[in-house]
Structure 1
Amino acid sequence: MNASDIFSARRMPHDEQPARARNKAALVSYFKEGAVADPREIGIELEHFLVDGTGEPLSYSQPHGVRDVLETLSERYPDVTVHDGDLLGVAKPSMNVTIEPAAQLELSAGPFGSLDTARRIFDEFEADVADALQPVCGRALAIGYDPSGRAADKELIPKARYAYMNEYLSAISPWGPRMMRGSASTQVSIDYRDEADCIAKMRIASVLTPLFALICDNAAVFEGGPRPHACMRTEVWKYCDPDRCNTVPGLLDAPFGFEDYADYILDTPAIVRMDEHGEAHYDSRPFGEIHAETPMTRADVEHALSMVFPDVRLKSYVEIRPADSMPVPYAIAYAALIKGLFYDDENLAALEEACMQIGVRDVWRAKEAVMRYGYRAHVYGREAALIADELFDMARKGLAAIAPHEKALLDPLAALVAARATLADIS
C-alpha cells in the first residue's frame, strides 16, 4: 500500500448512504447522553515507558517484559482483558490498566471529584508498577517520547488494531509509527452540561493546545538523540494523519455542534472495522460508507469515536490530549489547571470570549511558534510566557471558588512556568 491508495479511492456521497441519518442521530444521541447537570469531575490517563535496570525498553513478549508486568499487576487488578491468549489489560474499580501500541503502560482512572483522591490512586499505581518491575530492576518512565532509540525498531503488541493502524499510517509518513511506538501522553477528560457547553470547552481547549503542550513539554530526546526543538509530540501529531489529527475541521467556526462532529466521524477513514464478533479488520473506507446501509450499534459508535485523534476529542466527555506524559505530581498539577480553567463559569466565559476570533490557521502558527521559541514564542499576538502566567492565575482563582484546598496542587507546574522552563529543559 502507498499513500495514493489511501486518498485516491472514490468517496461515497452522503445521499448514497441510506443509513447515514440514523447513524448521525446515533452519534448525536451518544454525545447528549454524556451531558451532566453539574460538571465537576476529572478523568486522567497517564502513559509510561517501561525499562529495565540498564535503561533498555521492555517489550511485550520478552521474559519479564510488559506481559509479565501485567500478569503481576493482575493480582491487585483482577479484572483482566485477554484476546487470543494475550493479556492486554487489567483493572479494578476506577482504575483501568492497558497497553499502547509498543507496550507503553497506561493507567486510565477516575472520574475524580477530588484531585487529592486522584493523586493517591496514581501514587498507588506507581508503587504497584515498581513492585512488578523488581525482577529486572526496572522503572516506569513518565516522559513524552521514548529516549531509547528509533521508534520504528520497537515491537508492536499482538493486537490486530495496531497492526492495521501501523500499515495505514506508515503509508502516509514516518510520523504515524513514531506516534504509535515512541510517544506517551497525559490526557485529561472533562464533563459538559449540554451541547453549547461542550462545544465551548472543545473550542477553548483546541485554542489552548499549543500552550498546554508547552507547559507540559517533557520530551528531551527524539529518536535516540537530542531533540531538534521543543514540544516534539506536537510535531508528531501535526503530521501523523491529516484526516484525524490536529483541530477538528470547522470546530473553530460558528456554528458548530454535535451534528457537525458526527459528520466528521462518519467522513473519516476507519482504518479498523470491527465485526459483530468483535474481531478487527482492515478497512480504509470512511465510517459512513462502512455503515452506509447498516445502522451503527453503540459498540460501532464507540469504536468510531476512538479512531480519530484530534487535539481535543469528543466521546461522552471532552478529552484534552496535547500534554506529554509527566511524573504524577505534574500530571495532577495539569489536571488542576484544567479543572480551574474549565469548571469555573467566570473563567470559562472569559476564555470563550478571548478565543472567539482565533481560527485553525492561528492554532497551527501557534504550534510552530512554541516548537521553535518555547516560552519566548508569540502566540495569538502575545508572548507565550505571559499567557501561561495568566492561565495559572485564572486556575488559582477558579479553584479558589470550587475546590480551594486543591490550589496547592498547581505548584509543580506553576514553578516551571515561573522559571520559564519545562520538564524537558531540566531532565
Structure 2
Amino acid sequence: MSSPSHVAESPLTDRRELVEYMARGARPREAWRIGTEHEKFGFRLDDLRPPTFDGERGIEALLQGLTRFGWTPVHERIGQGPARVVALTRGDASVTLEPAGQLELSGAQLETIHQTCCEVDSHLVEVKSVADTLGLGFLGMGFQPKWRRQDMPWMPKGRYAIMREYMPKRGNLGLDMMTRTCTVQVNLDVDSEADMVKKFRVSLALQPVATALFADSPFTEGRPNGYLSYRSHIWTDTDPDRTGMLDFVFEDGFGYERYVDYLLDVPMYFSYRNDADGNKRYIDLAGCSFRDFMAGKLAALPGAHPTLRDWSDHMTTAFPEVRLKQYLEMRGADGGPWNRLCALPAFWVGLLYDDAALDAAWDLVRDFSMEERHALRDGVPRHALKLAFRGGSVRDLAREALKISAHGLRRRARRNHHGADESVFLVPLIESVEAGQTPAERKLALFHGAWNGSVDPVFREFAY
C-alpha cells in the first residue's frame, strides 16, 4: 500500500482537473518505463513469528539498518508520540511497510527487465545483510502460511488505523488482506488514452492468467486451505466498492472520464493534512464521498476542498484487478521467489510494450464475454492452471499468452551483457505451464511428502 503522495497541493473544484491529471501521465514510447513492486513476509529465525515494529529486532530497526545503503528515512508522527521511521526513499524508489510489517520495495522507473532483476537482487542482498544481524528472515508467498490474524503485528501508521476500523464493515477478509497477504506487481506506461484503453482491457482479461501462473498461497494457519491462490480469493470478500474486474472498462466509450467517475464513487478512507498544531496527520474520512469533498461538504472538514495530493492518495485506495493512476498497475499475482519477481514484469512488458504482441493479446481475449471473464476470475484462486475454459483449460490460455509475451520481448531486443534478451525471465513461468504445476502445488506436494504435514520448512527452504 502506498505512502502519502508527493504531488502538488493545488485545490480541486472541477472534475475536469481530475481527468486532466490522469491524462498527463501519458508518455511517448521512448519514455516508457517499468516499475516493479514486491512485498515479503518477515519472520524471526528462532520462532518463525513475524517481527513487531518496536524492539531491537523490530521492523523499525531493520529500516534504520538499511540507511547504511543510502536510503533516506521517512518519519511519521504517531499520535502524541515522537516521529518514527516508517519508510525509506532512494531516488525514485522506496521501501515501505504493509499493515503487518510486510516489507515492500517500490522500485525505480527502469528501462529493461535486466535492470529490474538487478534492482531486485540488490534490494534482497541489502535486506538480508541487515536482517541477518537481527535474526530475521524474509519469505515470498501470497499468504502468511502459519500465523493467525491475531498473531500478526500492526504497524503504527495513521492510514492503517483508519482502514483497520473500516474494513470489517465492508467484508469478512479485509483484515486478512491487510495483514496476511503479499503481492508482486508491475506498473507500466501508456502513450495516449486509446493506448490506455487497449492495454487496460487486455490486462484485465488476462489478469486471471497471471494469478494462475503465480499462485503461491495454499496454506492458512499451517494447513492446506483448499486454494492455490488464497490471496486472490481474499480480494473477493474485502470491499465490493473498490475491488473487482471493472466491467465498464470493456464498454464502448470507456476512457479517463469514465474511470474518474468510478473513483469518485469509491468511498474515501482519509485525507493527509496539517492539524491545528501544524503537524501532518491522517483525518478519518472513511465512507465519505470525494464528490462531497470537492463541493466542500464534508462534516469532518467543513468548507475544505481536496488537493491533487488528496486525489492521488484516493486513487491508491481503489483495489481492482488492474488499477489506473497515471499509469497501469498489474495487481493479480501472489508474491513469490526472486526469479518470479523478475518474471512478472517480463510477462506484462512482453504483452503490452510491443504493438504486435498487444494486437495478438487483444485477439486472444477480445471475444471473452463478461460471464467468461468473471468465471476465470472466480475459478482461478482455487484451480489455477487446471481451471476449465472453452474446451481446454487456463493452462492452454497461459501457454498462448506466454508465447505472445516471449515474441514481444524478443522483438524489444533489450539484451544484457551476455547477449540474452528479456524473454529469459519467462523461463520459470514456461516451466510451470509445461509441468502443469504452480508454485502452490509444488509446496503442497512437499507438505504431504518431505515436510511431513508441517509448513515450518517453507521458512527455511523458500526464504530469500
Alignment of 1:207-356 (within 5 A): 207-276=205-274, 278-283=280-285, 284-293=287-296, 296-356=306-366
Do structure 1's residue 415 and structure 2's residue 407 form an aligned pair? no
Select between 86-95 and 257-266 the one with higher mean Cα deviation: 86-95
1:46 aligns with 2:38: yes
Q: Which of 100, 103, 106 is the aligned partner of 2:104?
A: 106
In 2: Cα distance, 1:59 partner to 1:361 partner: 43
- Counterpart check, 1:30 vs 2:21: yes
- Relative distance call for 1:265 and 1:276 in structure 2 (3 A) is farther
Equivalent pair of 2:145/2:219 in contact (CA under 8 Å)? yes
Counterpart Cα distance in 1 of 2:59 and 2:373: 37
Match of 1:7 in 2: none
The one-letter amino acid paired with 2:159 is R
The answer for the alignment partner of 2:49 in structure 1 is 56
Match of 2:399 in 1: 389
Partner of residue 64, structure 2: 71
Structure 2: how far apart are the matches of 1:56 and 1:287? 39
Distance of aligned partners of 1:77 and 1:359 in 2 relative to their CA distance in 1, 3 Å threshold: farther
Q: Describe the shift of the 1:310–1:107 C-alpha distance in structure 2 as closer, same or farther (beyond 3 A).
A: same
SS at match of 2:26: coil
What is the CA deviation profile of residues 350-371 of structure 1, one whole-angstrom value per residue up to 9, with x for unaligned ones?
A: 2223333334433221123223
- The answer as to whether partners of 2:211 and 2:381 remain within 8 angstroms in 1 is no
Cα distance in 2, alignment partners of residues 161 and 138 from structure 1: 26
TM-score, normalized by length of structure 2?
Answer: 0.84
Q: Does the 8 A contact of 1:96 with 1:109 survive in 2?
A: yes
Q: Identify the range of structure 1 (168-177 vs 285-294) with the bigger mean alpha-carbon deviation.
A: 285-294
Q: 1:245 to 1:77 in 2, by over 3 A?
A: farther
Asked whether the 8 Å contact 2:226–2:382 carries over to 1, the reply is no
Q: Which residue of the other structure, out of 353, 356, 379, is the alignment partner of 2:389?
A: 379
Aligned twin of 2:93: 95
Deviation at 1:382, TM superposition (A): 4.0
Structure 2 counterpart SS, 1:96: strand
SS at match of 2:410: helix
1:344 and 1:207 mapped to 2: Cα distance?
A: 18
Q: Which stretch shows the higher mean deviation, 239-248 or 369-378?
A: 369-378
Alignment-derived partner of residue 136 in structure 2: 138
The residue type paired with residue 331 of structure 2 is: R
- Cα distance in 2 for partners of 1:153, 1:56 equals 8
Aligned length: 408
SS at match of 1:110: coil
How big is each residue's C-alpha offset from its partner over 1:124-149, in whole Å with a ceiling of 9 and x where there is no partner? 11011111111343211111111231
- Give, in angstroms, the shift of residue 242 of structure 1: 0.1
Q: Is the 8 A contact 1:152 1:178 kept in 2?
A: no
CA RMSD of aligned residues (A): 1.9
Equivalent AA in structure 1 for residue 24 of structure 2: E
User: CA–CA distance in 2 between the matches of 1:234 and 1:380?
Assistant: 22
Call closer, same or farther: CA 1:147–1:372 in 2, change over 3 Å. closer
Give the distance between the partners of 1:272 and 1:152, measured in 2 at CA.
25
Could you tell which deviates more after superposition, 232-241 or 50-59? 50-59
Q: Distance in 1 between matches of 2:84 and 2:368?
A: 46
Q: Which amino acid aligns with 1:53?
A: L
- Bigger CA drift: 232-241 or 133-142? 133-142
Shift, 1:376, TM fit: 2.0
Q: Is the 8 A contact 2:32 2:189 kept in 1?
A: yes
Measure the CA separation in 2 of the matches of 1:337 and 1:74. 32
Q: 1:369 aligns with which of 375, 379, 386?
A: 379
Structure 2: 5+ residue stretches without partners: 1-10, 78-82, 297-303, 415-420, 444-464
My pick for the range that moved more, 351-360 or 120-129, is 351-360
For 2:293 and 2:424, the matched residues in 1 are separated by 49
Q: Identity over the aligned pairs, expressed in percent?
A: 27
Q: Secondary structure at the match of 1:241?
A: coil
TM-score (norm 1): 0.91
CA distance in 2, matches of 1:346, 1:381: 27
Distance 1:362 1:36 in 2: 33
Give the Cα separation in 2 of the matches to 1:267 and 1:292: 14
The alpha-carbon deviation at position 312 of structure 1 amounts to: 0.5
Distance 2:319 2:160 in 1: 14
AA partner of residue 61 (structure 2): D
Structure 1 residues 118, 246: CA separation in 2 closer, same or farther (over 3 Å shift)? Answer: same
> 2:411 aligned to 392, 401, 405, which one?
401
- The residue identity in structure 2 corresponding to 1:248 is L
Amino acid of the structure 2 residue aligned with 1:376: K
Distance in 2 between residues matched to 1:63 and 1:381, nearest whole Å:
56
Q: Distance in 1 between matches of 2:134 and 2:217?
A: 24
Whole-Å separation in 1 of the counterparts to 2:204 and 2:221: 27
Q: Is the 8 A contact 1:26 1:296 kept in 2?
A: no
More divergent stretch after superposition (287-296 vs 154-163): 287-296
**Counterparts in 2 of 1:392 and 1:48: CA distance versus 1, 3 Å:** same
Q: Which runs of 5+ in 1 are unaligned?
A: 1-18
- Residues 158-189 of structure 1: CA deviation (Å, up to 9, x unaligned): 11111111111112233100000000000111
Q: Which position in structure 2 is the counterpart of 1:201?
A: 199
Q: Distance in 2 between matches of 1:123 and 1:262?
A: 37
Aligned-pair distance for 1:276?
4.8
